């Protein structure tokens, strides 16, 4: 039977790379998006062109009721999901003394509360199947902090605590829960960062490629990762 995976935020560069890699690994992939419908459609078409199976799904991961309704309907129609990649998130950088509450809460809702909103409706069907993979996409900002990103770093650090705790709860049911923490990756988020600054901060002297993140996620969603859970894998070119 074909395994099923949901990748949130699959209209973005990292989410697209993850969706493509999981499809190549044999998963049927649900390509999630909220605003980026055209890019999500492009991801879908790339999967289909490569011979894979994929379906679009749209809902707001920051909204608990919208997420619950969308995912419960999906489970009723499709059954349990085997893999969940929590990639959707949001950044609104600002120095903390000038950060508005809305900037704080929007990032927390999209990047941390979404862990509950998305995982909660899917976890019991996964537990009943006694096999599953959950991977949260965090950030090195969660491990080291970053100027102007107290909201983002707090959310991404919270993902680590939530994932490690859930890993302990569901390990006996064959479910592995892990975290991938990227550093600088070639996405729109680093468009304003100079190559020189990246070289100063990254021992490998370059930004990572989305495919390099996706390859680690795909491994964690495979049978080969059956004895790895509660871990945070830093994929940052040597930022430690």
Which pLDDT does position 64 carry in this prediction? 97
Q: Supply the range of the domain harboring residue 47.
A: 4-234
Q: At what angle do helices 13-24 and 37-49 cross, to 10 degrees?
A: 20
Cβ–Cβ < 8 Å for 82, 135: no
What is the per-residue pLDDT across 140-169, written as a single tens digit (0 to 9) for each? 999 999 899 999 999 999 999 999 999 999
Is 180 a member of any domain? yes
Is 28 a member of any domain? yes
DSSP state of 60: -
What is the per-residue pLDDT across 46-102, written as a single tens digit (0 to 9) for each? 999 999 999 999 999 999 999 999 999 999 999 999 999 999 999 999 999 999 999
What is the chain's mean pLDDT, rounded?
Answer: 95
Which pLDDT does position 194 carry in this prediction? 78
The CATH number given to whatever domain includes residue 126 is 3.40.50.720
Which one from 27, 101, 116, 152 is the annotated catalytic residue? Answer: 152
What is the per-residue pLDDT across 204-239, written as a single tens digit (0 to 9) for each? 898 889 999 999 999 999 999 999 999 999 998 988
pTM: 0.95
Cβ–Cβ < 8 Å for 236, 183: yes
Is 239 a member of any domain? no
How far is Cα 240 from Cα 222, in angstroms, rounded to an integer?
26
How far is Cα 111 from Cα 105, in angstroms, rounded to an integer?
10
Q: How many domains does the chain have?
A: 1
Is 199 a member of any domain? yes
Structure tokens at 224: 């080969």
Cβ–Cβ < 8 Å for 72, 49: no
Alpha helices by DSSP H, 6-149: 13-24, 37-49, 64-78, 101-108, 114-129, 140-144
Which pLDDT does position 212 carry in this prediction? 96
User: Is 116 one of the catalytic residues?
Assistant: no
Q: Is the pLDDT of residue 131 over 90?
A: yes
């Amino acid at each position: 039977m074909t395994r099923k995976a949901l990748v949130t935020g699959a209209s973005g560069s990292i989410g697209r790379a993850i969706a493509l890699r999981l499809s190549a690994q044999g998963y049927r992939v649900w390509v999630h998006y909220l605003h980026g419908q055209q890019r999500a459609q492009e991801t879908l078409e790339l999967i289909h062109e490569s011979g894979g199976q994929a379906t679009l799904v749209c809902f707001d991961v920051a909204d608990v009721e919208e997420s619950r309704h969308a995912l419960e309907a999906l489970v009723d129609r499709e059954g349990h999901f085997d893999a969940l990649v929590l990639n959707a998130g949001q950044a609104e950088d600002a120095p903390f003394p000038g950060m508005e509450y809305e900037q704080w809460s929007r990032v927390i809702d999209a990047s941390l509360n979404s862990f509950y909103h998305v995982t909660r409706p899917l976890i019991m069907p996964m537990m009943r199947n006694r096999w599953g993979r959950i991977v949260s996409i965090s950030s090195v900002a969660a491990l080291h902090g970053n100027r102007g990103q107290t909201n983002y770093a707090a959310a991404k650090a919270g993902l680590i605590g939530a994932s490690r705790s859930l890993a302990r709860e569901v390990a006996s049911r064959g479910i592995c829960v892990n975290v991938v923490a990227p550093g600088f990756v070639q996405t729109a988020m680093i468009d304003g960062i100079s190559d020189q600054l990246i070289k100063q901060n990254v021992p490998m002297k370059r930004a990572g490629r989305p495919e390099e993140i996706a390859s680690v996620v795909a491994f964690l969603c495979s049978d080969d990762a059956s004895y790895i859970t509660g871990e945070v894998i830093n994929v940052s070119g040597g930022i430690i």
